[in-house]
Amino acid sequence: MKQSRLMSLFETFGGTALGFVLSLAIQYGVCRYYGLPLSTSQNLGIIGIFTAASLARGYCWRRVCEALHIRRPLSPFMRAAIAERFRQIEQEGFSPNEDNRYVDGELRTAGGCYILHAGTQSPTMPHEWPWPQQWWKPNGYRRDLVRGVALAIADGERFDRERHKRERRNRRAAP
């Protein structure tokens, strides 16, 4: 979800207000330390100028970032698939090292099975399912899609690790 102009303004003002208070305290301390004879109104005037510049800069930068889509939010489905991937690693123990064992496409095949059969409650596993029957656990359309995508992510990560290993080996072997 994009950030609204109002939220950009609120975020900018909040950060700048905090900066204003901090700057006032620092400038007061610096002036006292160096014996600079600035009155409170002069201190406030100087900080006010810098605060106005900071507000304009912060708001403009936030709008530029939004326009360039620098911070793209994830949809609820994407967040669920990523959370499922972390769950597979952290709770099921399917670490990246464990995933490296599957070099014959088992991860992507399992992911594809969940996606192709999403929402079917049949306890009969698909004939292309790469693992024993007890690992086939359909659980509703969305949940099956999430599992399938998470398994595809696992296979993509495994592929990237293998590709990087090959590239490093090739660089070392090159004269």
0.75 surpassed by pTM: no
- Tell me which residue has tokens 């204003």: 20
Residues 80 and 63 in one domain: no
Q: What does the pLDDT look like over 3-50, one tens digit per residue?
A: 678 887 888 888 888 888 888 888 888 888 888 888 888 888 888 888
Residues 103 and 133 in one domain: yes
In 10 A of CB 147, how many CB atoms? 25
Residues 83 and 158 in one domain: yes
**How far, in Å, CA of 113 to CA of 138, rounded?**
10
Residues 55 and 135 in one domain: no
User: What contacts 24+ positions apart, CB below 8 Å, involve 99-103?
Assistant: 99/154, 99/155, 99/157, 99/158, 100/158, 100/161, 100/162, 102/155, 102/158, 103/162
Could you list the residue range(s) of the whole structural domain that residue 151 is in? 76-173
**How far, in Å, CA of 3 to CA of 56, rounded?**
17
Q: What does the pLDDT look like over 70-117, one tens digit per residue?
A: 666 789 999 999 999 999 999 999 999 999 999 999 999 999 999 999
Residues 91 and 125 in one domain: yes
